[in-house]
Amino acid sequence: MLKRTLVANRGEIACRILRACKEARIEGVAIYAENDTGTLFTEIADLAIPLNGEGLSETYLNQEQIIGIAIDNGCDSIHPGFGFLSERADFAQAVIDAGLIWIGPSPEAISTMGDKMTARITMKDAGVPVIPGEEVDGGIDDVLKLAPQVGYPLLLKATSGGGGKGMRAVHRQEDLEHEAKAAMREAMNAFGDDRIYIERLLTGSRHIEIQILADKFGRTIHLGERECSVQRRHQKVFEESPSVAVDSELREAMGVAACDAARAVDYVGAGTVEFLVTPTGEFYFLEMNTRIQVEHPVTEMVTGVDLVREQLRIAAGEPMSCGALSMRGHAIEVRLYAEDPTNNFLPAIGPLSRFIPPTGPGVRLDTGVREGDNVTPDYDPMLAKLIVWAPSRTEALQRMCRALDEFVILGCVTNLRFLRDLCEHPDVVDGWTTTDMIEKLWPDGWSDSVSQDILDAGLLVSFACESTNYGKKQMSASSVDEHVSIFELINGRYP
C-alpha cells in the first residue's frame, strides 16, 4: 500500500491526482513555485512544500530538488501527472534509484516510446502498422534525400517531440529545406534534440487513441477509444468517446494493436496509444504517451474506471480492479484556454474576477483555478477541462452546449465562445471531424458572430443587477465607464 505520494506537478492535474490519493487514503504532498502560492492544488494537498528558485528549470523541472523534498517529507512514491517530467526516463530512473516508487511505466518503456524513431522501429517489429515514412540519421542532408521517397504532402516530426512542437507540414519540394531547418530549430529549443523524421501526411484522417492499462501480473487491457481529431496546431481541442467512426470490429482491431504495442515494451501502468485512421478505415501508429492523458476523463465517464486510482493500485503492486471493456453512453470534453480565438488564438492574461462553472446532471469540471486567481504567462494557458456525459452523442452535444452557455468567466479572454460555436458546427454535429477541420473551417481565424456592443450591454446590465442583489451601491454613469474595460474581456455567453 502507498502511504504518502508526492505529486510532481501543478494546477488541474495536481488537483486530480491529490483528490484520487485522498479517496485512496493516501496522503498527498504538493510542491509549488512561489507564483503558485495559495492556489487550489496547494490547499487540496495534505502537505504543501514550497520550491526554491525561479522559472521552470529551477522549480517544477528540478529533479534533484523534487526528489529531495519527497525523501525529506517521508514520501514513498512520486506521481508525475502529465507534462513537465512525466515522460523523462532519467527522472523515473532517479526516483527509483532514490528508493521511491515511480507511479508510471519503466524508464526503459518511457525511453523507447519517447524517441519517436525508436518507437516506429519497435512498432514495426511488433507488427503494429506505422505511417509510411523514413527514419533520419544524417541531419538535414538525409532529410533532403529521403523526403522525395516518402512523397508529398509529408510531415516533419521531432524525434523527441510532443504537443505539436517541432512538427511541420510540407506540400512542395521547394519548401522542404526551409521547413526542415525550422522544425529542427524548434525541436532543439523545445527538447534539446534537433533530430527529426519524415512521415507521409495523411490528410482527411481522424486521430483516434486507445487507452490501455497493464499491471505487474501480466495483464494488459484496453478501455476503448477516444476521438481527438479536432485540433489546432496539433493541440487537441475537442475529445469524445466513443468515436462515431469506430465500430466494434475496428475497436477490437485497434485495441489488440494497442495492447501489442504496450507488451512490446513491457509496459506497466496507464498509457495511450495514438493512431491515425484513414477514411477507408486503415489505421496507423502515431505514438504512445507513457503517462495519464489530458483527455482521460472521457474514458472514465463512459467506462466507470478511475484511471488515476488504477495507476495508484498498479504502482502499489496490486492487480488492476477493472475487467473487460464495457462502454456506456457518450462523453465529450472541451479544453478551456486563456486565449483570444479572434487574434490567432494568442494566449491571454488577466484576473479571473468572475469564474462560475456550470453544474447539473452529467457535468464535470477538472480545473486548477477559481474565482480571484490571476492568469499569468508563466504556464500553459489551459484553465479547465469541461466534460459532459449523456446516454447518446446527440444528448451529450446538447448538454455541452447548455454547460458552455452557463459558464461565466469575467476578466480574462478565453476560447469559451469559440468552443460554443464549434459544438454547433454541422461537421461536429454530424461527426465529420478530421485533424485539419479547424484550418479548413477558419483559414483566416475564427470571428465572433455576436456583436461586441450587444455583449457589452448585456454584461453591464448583468453587473448592475448583481451589484443591486448583493446590496452594493448601484453603478453611476462614471462607474459604468470604469468597468467597460473589464467587460470587454469577457468571453462568456448570455441569453
Q: What confidence score (pLDDT) does residue 473 get? A: 36
State residue 232's pLDDT score. Answer: 86
Q: What is the CATH number of domain 4-103?
A: 3.40.50.20
Spatial neighbors of 76 by CB under 8 A, at least 6 apart, are: 2, 3, 4, 5, 100, 101
pLDDT for position 213? 98
Catalytic residues: 291
Superfamily of domain covering 132-200: ATP-grasp fold, A domain (3.30.1490.20)
Three cell numbers at 424? 454547433
Cis peptide before 443 (omega within 30 of 0): no
Instruction: Tell which residue, 60, 31, 29, 61, has the closest CA to residue 45.
Output: 29
* CA atoms of 142 and 66, how far apart (whole Å): 40
98: alpha, beta or left? (left if phi > 0; alpha if psi -120 to 50) = alpha
Radius of gyration of the chain, Cα coordinates, nearest whole angstrom = 23
Give me the pLDDT at residue 102, please: 98
Q: What are the residue ranges of CATH 3.30.470.20 in the chain?
A: 206-441
Average pLDDT of adjacent 10-residue blocks, the chain of 495 residues: 97 98 98 97 98 96 98 98 96 98 98 92 95 88 93 92 84 94 92 91 92 97 97 90 97 97 98 95 95 98 98 98 93 96 91 96 98 94 97 98 97 95 95 90 79 50 49 38 40 40
- 206-441: CATH topology is D-amino Acid Aminotransferase; Chain A, domain 1 (3.30.470)
For residue 265, list its beta bridge partners.
none
What integer pLDDT is reported at residue 464 of this predicted model?
Answer: 52
Region(s) of the chain under CATH 3.40.50.20: 4-103
From the list 408, 406, 388, the residue with the least C-alpha distance to 397 is 388
Q: Range(s) for CATH 3.30.1490.20 in the chain?
A: 132-200
